[in-house]
């Protein structure tokens, strides 16, 4: 019973204290706003530092978000459930001479793999698709596009890819087997060759041969020169081999049944490829099996260092802004020493004074942050308009993050002056003129 009694007293005390804390908080906000209004010029100039800092940091954050999205978008082209059989691994190698003399990957492997996959019960693999590619010019009427990525493949290609047709269709199984002279063209290619008409059923000239356009891909967007479907054309492998026999680069891509079992699929594919190549057990693999993830892990460090370096440099400008806030809060404390003394005489505790000045610096930073964010938003819209290909990313997360950064800046830069104010001796403060 006494315990219960004591508890309820503590609870009541805590309640009173909480209430007082809230009143003090409200009072501090009012003072902060009044101070800002009373010292308009000073507050504006000080906030300017924070505004610039927040604009810089936010824009950098947006750029980093954009870069990240661009990478991911380009990465999506590769597909996260597709394995790539290639001569060279998708990473930087120090022993290039070990790879140079490997046998080339042949398109026929795909058919051999498919036969083996069919015979394997519960195979983790679905289908193998051969791809061969060259760079060629492509013409229609008076228009020409150079260095187009020309891909020869089978109609199964569509299952291994995120490709979509905006108009028309991908070439069919029949066309694929027969090696028909048909092409599916990328968005940018279509845009350059057919600025004002539909490309479907028109014939384009590649390498002196006419190909009928059966489909146009949906726009994917390019980023930092990474690969994009927008600037490629795809045709049946039969036709490709007939007209582009000179040393094409060939790969085999294999669609995986369950992307959570990518490692198993990789092992299985390695086994199959060793059989295709007829490797004795003691020999090491003479091919590489790649996946999107491997590519990503080589790109991620690049992405991360851009992010760290960028945020560090822009963070410096915010730091300068924070020093401005700290300085002005020190000035404010000095100017209002007598007021602090009066408040202490009237019963303000250390915490109250600390809170008051912390809130002043925080309010200033929050205001700066808000204005800075608005500027950044407008600038993002502008950049988005001016460079549509750059993937701008202005997210809610970014807004919340920059507001948190503003508040933190206010708290950190205001702490030293606020602490000084809270520690002032009331007698000295009252006597201060």
What is the per-residue binding string for other proteins in 5-34, x denoting contact by CB under 8 A? -----------xx-xx--xx--x------x
Structure tokens at 109: 């492997």
Q: How far is CA 204 from the centre of its chain?
A: 37
360 binds other proteins (CB under 8 A): no
Number of residues this chain uses to bind other proteins (CB under 8 A): 27
Read off the tokens for 272: 């199959």
Structure tokens at 74: 């380009």
Nearest to other proteins of 24, 230 (CB atom) = 24
Stretch near other proteins under the rule CB under 8 A, chosen from 124-132, 255-263, 318-326, 348-356: 348-356
- 308 forms part of the interface with other proteins (CB under 8 A): no
- Give one word for 207, left, alpha or beta, with left for phi > 0 and alpha for psi -120 to 50: left
d(CA 206, CA 208): 5
Q: How far is the CB of 58 from other proteins (least distance, A)?
A: 34
Window contacting other proteins (CB under 8 A); options: 71-79, 145-153, 300-308, 423-431: 423-431
Does 334 engage in binding with other proteins (CB under 8 A)?
Answer: no
Q: Check residue 275 for interaction with other proteins (CB under 8 A).
A: no
Residue 413 beta carbon to other proteins: minimum distance, rounded to whole angstroms: 24
Beta carbon nearer to other proteins, 21 or 387: 21
Closer CB to other proteins, 209 or 342, in the complex: 342
Minimum CB–partner distance for residue 333 and other proteins (Å): 15
345 binds other proteins (CB under 8 A): yes
What is the spatial distance between Cα 322 and Cα 313, in angstroms, rounded to a whole number?
A: 15
Q: Confirm or reject binding of residue 261 to other proteins (CB under 8 A).
A: no
For residues 241 and 420, which CB has a smaller minimum distance to other proteins in the complex? 420
Sole binder of other proteins in the list 144, 327, 342, 420 (CB under 8 A)? 342
In whole angstroms, how far apart are CA 190 and each of 139, 186, 217, 231, 426? 11, 6, 9, 9, 79
Output phi, psi for 125, to 5 deg.
Answer: -110, 150
Q: CA angle 266-290-166, nearest 5°?
A: 110
Buried-state track 124-139, b at ≥16 Cβ within 10 A, e below 16: bbbbbbbbbbbebebe
- Please name the residue ranges forming H helices in 79-107: 97-100
Quote the least distance from Cβ 326 to other proteins, whole Å: 24
Phi and psi at residue 274, to the nearest 5°: -65, -35
Q: Which residues bind other proteins (CB under 8 A)?
A: 16-17, 19-20, 23-24, 27, 34, 38, 338-339, 341-352, 425-427, 430
């Amino acid at each position: 019973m006494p315990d219960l009694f004591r508890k309820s007293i503590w609870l009541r005390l805590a309640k009173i204290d909480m209430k007082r804390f809230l009143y003090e908080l409200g009072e501090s906000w009012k003072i902060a706003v009044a101070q800002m209004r009373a010292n308009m010029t000073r507050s504006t100039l000080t906030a300017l530092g924070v505004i610039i800092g927040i604009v810089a940091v936010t824009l950098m954050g947006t750029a980093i978000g954009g870069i990240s999205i661009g990478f991911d978008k380009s990465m999506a082209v590769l597909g996260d459930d597709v394995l790539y059989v290639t001569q060279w691994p998708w990473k930087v190698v120090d022993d290039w001479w070990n790879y140079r003399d490997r046998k080339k990957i042949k398109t026929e492997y795909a058919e051999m793999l498919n036969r083996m996959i069919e015979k394997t019960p519960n195979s983790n693999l679905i289908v193998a698709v051969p791809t061969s590619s060259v760079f060629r010019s492509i013409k229609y009427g008076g228009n020409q596009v150079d260095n187009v990525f020309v891909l020869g493949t089978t109609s199964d290609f569509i299952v291994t890819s995120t490709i979509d047709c905006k108009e028309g269709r991908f070439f069919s199984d029949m066309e694929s087997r027969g090696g028909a002279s048909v092409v599916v063209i990328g968005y940018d290619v279509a845009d350059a060759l057919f600025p004002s008409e539909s490309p479907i059923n028109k014939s384009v000239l590649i390498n002196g041969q006419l190909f009928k356009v059966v489909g146009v891909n949906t726009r994917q967007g390019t980023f930092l020169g990474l690969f994009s479907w927008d600037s490629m054309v795809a045709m049946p492998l039969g036709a490709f081999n007939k007209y582009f026999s000179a040393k094409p680069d060939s790969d085999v891509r294999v669609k995986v049944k369950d992307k959570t079992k990518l490692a198993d699929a990789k092992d299985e594919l390695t086994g199959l490829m060793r059989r295709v190549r007829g490797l004795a057990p003691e020999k090491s693999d003479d091919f590489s099996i790649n996946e999107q993830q491997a590519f990503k892990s080589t790109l991620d460090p690049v992405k991360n260092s851009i992010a760290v370096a960028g945020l560090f440099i822009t963070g410096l400008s915010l730091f300068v802004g924070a020093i401005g806030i700290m300085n002005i809060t020190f000035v404010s404390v000095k100017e209002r020493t007598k007021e602090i003394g009066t408040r202490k005489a009237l019963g303000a505790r250390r915490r109250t004074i600390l809170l008051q000045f912390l809130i002043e610096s925080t309010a200033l930073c929050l205001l700066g942050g808000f204005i800075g964010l608005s500027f950044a938003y407008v600038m993002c819209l502008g950049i988005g308009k001016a460079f549509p290909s750059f993937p701008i990313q202005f997210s809610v997360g970014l807004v919340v993050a920059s507001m948190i950064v503003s508040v933190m800046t206010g708290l950190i830069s205001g702490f030293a002056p606020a602490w000084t104010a809270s520690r002032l001796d009331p007698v000295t403060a009252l006597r201060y003129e």
